[in-house]
């Protein structure tokens, strides 16, 4: 499968089978992520792979508490957008997925934010190549993850990537994308 085919088939999945994933698969995913380009080659990323059910439950509870506060204040068209995607403060995927990959970035490195998001892009493509599914989840105010996972405050939690086998059938026909002429202007 080409990289473009992987990109076209990738979807954000919010429901996972209980089927286990080996540590070797997670290592391959993180290794692929490590090849992402980074500002001044600083490679500001660090990952924590969580499979412990009790810890995943604690992460879920904290995320849902923060999400509820967020949803309580959402109004207007943004609230309508969340509803149209069937999104809610309930984040069952955090305990369903066999692994949560928590992505941290060393925040005082040059270009840490840009570098980290390129790295996450590599990560989700490798997850797809492994025939697994994921979701780029960014809960509000993620600093609690540093303490919960024992990570220095020099690092900032950037995203949680649940990883597992999809428990939902993916309908590729529903995905709407902008046409290429809406995305680019050539100046020659």
CATH code, 160: 3.40.109.10
For residue 143, tell me if it sits in a domain.
Answer: yes
For residue 133, tell me if it sits in a domain.
Answer: yes
For residue 188, tell me if it sits in a domain.
Answer: no
CA distance 14 to 166: 8
For residue 42, tell me if it sits in a domain.
Answer: yes
For residue 139, tell me if it sits in a domain.
Answer: yes
User: pLDDT truncated to tens, each residue of the chain (188 aa)?
Assistant: 888 988 888 888 899 998 999 999 999 999 999 999 999 999 999 999 999 999 999 999 999 999 888 888 878 888 777 777 778 888 999 999 999 999 999 999 999 999 999 999 999 999 999 999 999 999 999 999 999 999 999 999 999 999 999 987 766 566 788 899 999 989 99
What does the pLDDT read at residue 172? 59
What does the pLDDT read at residue 131? 94
Which range of residues forms the domain containing residue 157? 3-182
Give the global pTM: 0.91
For residue 187, tell me if it sits in a domain.
Answer: no
Dihedrals phi, psi of 102, to nearest 5 degrees: -100, 120
What does the pLDDT read at residue 173? 62
Give the count of domains, the chain.
1
For residue 155, tell me if it sits in a domain.
Answer: yes
What does the pLDDT read at residue 83? 74
What does the pLDDT read at residue 69? 85
For residue 29, tell me if it sits in a domain.
Answer: yes
């Amino acid at each position: 499968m080409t990289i473009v085919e992987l990109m076209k088939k990738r979807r954000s999945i919010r429901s996972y089978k209980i089927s286990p994933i080996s540590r070797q698969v997670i290592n391959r995913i993180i290794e692929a992520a490590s090849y992402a380009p980074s500002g001044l080659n600083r490679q500001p990323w660090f990952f924590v792979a969580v499979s412990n059910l009790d810890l995943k439950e604690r992460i879920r509870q904290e995320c849902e508490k923060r999400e509820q506060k967020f949803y309580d204040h959402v109004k207007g068209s943004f609230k309508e957008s969340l509803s149209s995607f069937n999104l809610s403060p309930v984040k069952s995927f955090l305990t369903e997925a066999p692994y949560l990959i928590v992505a941290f970035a060393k925040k005082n490195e040059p270009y840490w934010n840009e570098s980290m998001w390129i790295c996450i892009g590599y990560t989700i493509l490798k997850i797809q190549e492994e025939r697994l599914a994921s979701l780029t989840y960014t809960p509000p105010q993620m600093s609690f993850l540093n303490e919960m996972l024992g990570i220095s405050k020099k690092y900032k939690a950037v995203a949680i990537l649940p990883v597992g086998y999809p428990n939902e059938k993916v309908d590729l026909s529903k995905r709407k994308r902008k046409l290429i002429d809406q995305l680019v202007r050539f100046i020659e």
